[in-house]
Amino acid sequence: MEAEFVYIGLAALFGLFMAWGIGANDVANAMATSVGSKALTIKQAILVAAVFEFLGAVLAGGEVTSTIRSGIVDAGLLVDTPELLVYGMLASLLAAGTWLAIASANGWPVSTTHSIVGAIVGFAAVGLGIEAVHWGQVGTIVISWVVSPLTAGFIAYLIYQSVLKLILHQDDPLEKAKRYVPVYIFFAALTITLVTILKGLTHVGLDLSLHNSYYLAIGIAAVIALIGAVAVRNIRPDKKAEKKQHFHTVERVFGILMIVTACGMAFAHGSNDVANAIGPVAAIISVAHTGAVASKSAVSIWVLVLGGGGIVIGLATYGWKVIATVGQKITQLTPSRGFAAELAAATTIVIASGTGLPISTTHTLVGAVLGVGLARGIEAIDLRVVGRIFVSWVVTIPAGALLAIVFFTILKAVLP
């Protein structure tokens, strides 16, 4: 009985630490472009993220979660030694949380999914043997390091080129913005709604077929585009501000659009990535209560609240460092550039959800920001910052694995 309380207490503590790390590092992805382009202040971004990340995590974070995420290790191998799963999941939470804290302190945007995957690989290799790890699955994740930023970067490049051609390089950019921005609003609303349905609402029992998901998303997007068209029509040019900055009013239009995309991305992110913190917690609680390993674990509401609350605290206390890197240091962002990056990231996530490719939100958004920078020429990008980010991506899985091996060895020695 005493061991049960120790396991659940440590699971809650380490799960909160991991959720804090997700908030400090990963939530910046949903908010960095909005802050970097000055569509939102840092305080407004934290408020928006707090509301929508928390709602996403608690409302759509999942009633049931896989014991071991991403199919890296077969949970069946731990049936005879459930205590190893407890030590392994505790070590994984502590290892991934520690790596995210190190990365956030340096302003490196790394993948929380890859952090927890690396940690699970480490504990499995030591606790169960190298052959217990599904290396093919790990290989697929490594491939996504290349595929997701390249795809998002290419799409962002095309979107921003279209903004330049159709609006910013025209003689009457505001009139052209009023004509074309409702079309961008439609595509933004479509992709964000699809991200939310495909990645967020499947957990709540809204298990629509792919066809119905698209029909619902198209309907919602059409309504939002109509509302957007009316709002854009009523925007009047600010002559004084236009003298200082030629595209001031046009950028204001894109600024409004970015706030909508930021809310949607935050909800989808909260619903999807909270599992990186609460999945291991739910697995530990399940073993502590039943003494047996199950392939799926039920998630109590208090665990979802713990995950959502941890994410919000992480963003509020430490998220500004990664926001500064992605939003300001890679390339200079304006609302139109930030919008192109966010729409490209959301589109890439939709494509990946449809094809089943495991991708990282972080890698996708950084790739999209790079694509927007490249649309203005290579000199618009700070290559030193990009180099540091790439190195942090490569190091994430090995770092998570090494830390997990250390913590697993210690926990196995000291816990009952």
Tell me which residue of 258, 246, 242 sits closest to 34, measured CA to CA.
Answer: 258
Which pLDDT score is estimated for 39? 87
> How far apart (Å, rounded) are the C-alpha atoms in residues 279 and 273?
10
Yes or no: say if 67 and 75 are a contact pair by the CB < 8 Å rule: yes
Q: Looking at residues 275-287, what average pLDDT do you find?
A: 87
The pLDDT of residue 371: 94
Does the pLDDT value for residue 337 go beyond 70?
yes
* Predicted pLDDT at 68: 61
What integer pLDDT is reported at residue 358 of this predicted model?
A: 65
pLDDT (average), residues 3-7 = 87
Q: pLDDT at position 109, please?
A: 93
pLDDT tier, 239 (very low <50, low <70, confident <90, very high otherwise)? low
For residue 407, pLDDT beyond 90: yes
pLDDT above 70 for 299: yes
Q: What is the DSSP string of 153-179?
A: HHHHHHHHHHHIIIIITSSSHHHHHHH
Is the pLDDT confidence value at 398 over 90? yes
More confident residue, 47 or 95: 95
pLDDT for position 134: 86
Rounded mean pLDDT of the chain?
85
Residue 162 has what pLDDT?
A: 93
pLDDT per position as a tens digit, 147-159: 889 999 999 999 9
Residue of 294 and 86 predicted with greater confidence = 86
Give the pLDDT score at 205.
Answer: 60
Q: How far is CA 17 from CA 44, 57, 83, 404, in A?
A: 24, 16, 21, 15
Range of the domain at 166: 2-414
Reported confidence tier of residue 367, pLDDT bands at 50, 70, 90: very high
| Average pLDDT rounded to a whole number, residues 265-281 | 82
* Burial bucket for residue 383 (CB in 10 Å: 0-12, 13-18, 19+): exposed
Task: Report how far residue 379's alpha carbon sits from residue 156's, in angstroms, rounded to the nearest whole number.
Answer: 17
The per-residue pLDDT for 110 is 93
pLDDT (average), residues 105-125: 91
Total domains in the fold of the chain? 1
Least confident range from 14-28, 31-45, 68-82, 214-228: namely 68-82
Question: Count of CB atoms within 10 A of residue 158's CB?
Answer: 14
Flag whether pLDDT at 241 surpasses 70: no
d(CA 198, CA 229): 26
Mean pLDDT computed over 276-288: 88
* Max Cα–Cα distance, the chain, nearest Å: 75
Min mean pLDDT across 60-69, 70-79, 245-254, 311-320 is at 60-69
pLDDT at 51 over 60: yes
> Across residues 45-61, what is the average pLDDT?
83
| Total residues belonging to the chain | 416
